[in-house]
A = this chain, B = another copy of it.
């Protein structure tokens, strides 16, 4: 619980006092006296999958958290440009400061000792304070390096002396058919993905990390995601995207250890070795023209996706987690799943066996002059090589869904492996 007097909306001291009985955390299976305003329905719904506000994920470990971590409900993502004056030592300093702050924030602490109200009256508070009283809320903070850090990409210079250490595959993504990229939503030297079950906690993290970067790195673009569109654990129910379909069914799940090792983590034998235990992150801001989509017949929507809109079952039959059978034919001899369906084109069988871990979020950012919601999918995927994304995205050139999509933002980052206590994020890169 962050400093302050515990008055936050979801970890509030006031309501907590309404409890008649208190129980030690973690004693699963014990009986809970539902008291105050809480009904059994609440406890029931919560036991059925709502996130535990007190949940805190370890910041240190073999991999950065926020990749195979069960996808949290909310996202704040930020891409930064490094300031022209920043040099190698400055970059190391920034990463060190970010590491120290993130290690605290993810544990539900304020960004720095002293925090929002424990410092001097005559100094700006160390923490901005809007998360006072809020628990960790499952916050993970994941850092990545864009091509610019290695002197690659438009107008980048090798200010950090890292050109020789650039992962050969880390360069701005190629132009894909139909791309309508906006420069202000594209690229970035550094990125931070903050995921949490409470949006105030995710926003608080990005805001404070951005503040720490003052004079060293500047926010280039940022994106709030209000709802997850993927499961990354078999224990999670599959959420829905704004086309109304379940999204994340065939995702690489954290429990599939072999698939995670094959498709998500950079192996020690891969190039470069400093990235071992890391991954590549692709971010795409995909606008969905939902007003047009909503005029499409149900049957055609399902054909375009290749799955049913209710259960999310492949059109070849079965239930949500049945493997699609692309050879299955209907009475007329036509394939039950069209070869141009999204899942047919995205499936490993159409892409040399390639998979990826998707971790996207729904977004709605106001509306355009025509009154259409600026809504869509903020697509995030983690893969062992950017080539996996490139292959699938090229395969999707034939996807009928594209008529209802517009890729307006794009970025790729090398996400270093996890660190031990006392190290800073990305330390292996500078070794």
Contact = CB atoms under 8 A, between A and B. Distances in A.
A74 B224 CA distance: 13
Contact of A129 (B74, B297, B309, B373): B309
A120 B298 contact: yes
Contacts of A236: 9, 12, 15
B24 A40 contact: yes
B7 A320 contact: yes
A45 B135 contact: yes
A297 B237 contact: no
A148 interface: no
Nearest to A237: B12
Interface string A55-81: 100000000000000000110100001
Interface stretch (A165-173, A215-223, A271-279): A215-223
A370 B220 CA distance: 8
Nearest to A3: B310
A40 B123 CA distance: 40
A219 B371 contact: yes
Contacts of A366: 221-224, 365
Contacts of A73: 9-10
B242 A130 contact: yes
B49 A15 contact: yes
Nearest to A208: B294
Interface string A233-268: 001111111111110000000000000000000000
Contacts of A429: none
Contacts of A218: 370-371
A45 B11 contact: yes
A97 to B, nearest CB: 15
Interface stretch (A30-38, A87-95, A156-164, A382-390): A30-38
A308 interface: yes
B294 A128 contact: yes
A168 to B, nearest CB: 30
A46 to B, nearest CB: 4
A210 interface: yes
Which of the listed residues A120, A129, A295, A375 has the most CB atoms from chain B within 10 Å of its own CB? A129
Contacts of A18: 48-49, 235
B19 A29 contact: no
Nearest to A291: B211
A347 interface: no
Interface in A1-57: 3-5, 7-16, 18-19, 22-55
Contacts of A220: 371
Scoring A47, A117, A244, A290 by chain B CB atoms within 10 A of each residue's CB, the highest score goes to A47
A125 interface: yes
A14 B237 contact: yes
Contacts of A130: 240-244, 362
A326 interface: no
Nearest to A247: B130
Interface stretch (A101-109, A199-207, A337-345): A199-207
A214 B370 CA distance: 12
Given A76-B364, A128-B294, A210-B373, 19 more contacts: A7-B311, A28-B38, A32-B34, A32-B40, A36-B48, A37-B49, A38-B46, A42-B52, A121-B299, A122-B299, A123-B297, A125-B309, A129-B243, A203-B362, A207-B290, A211-B294, A218-B370, A218-B371, A365-B365
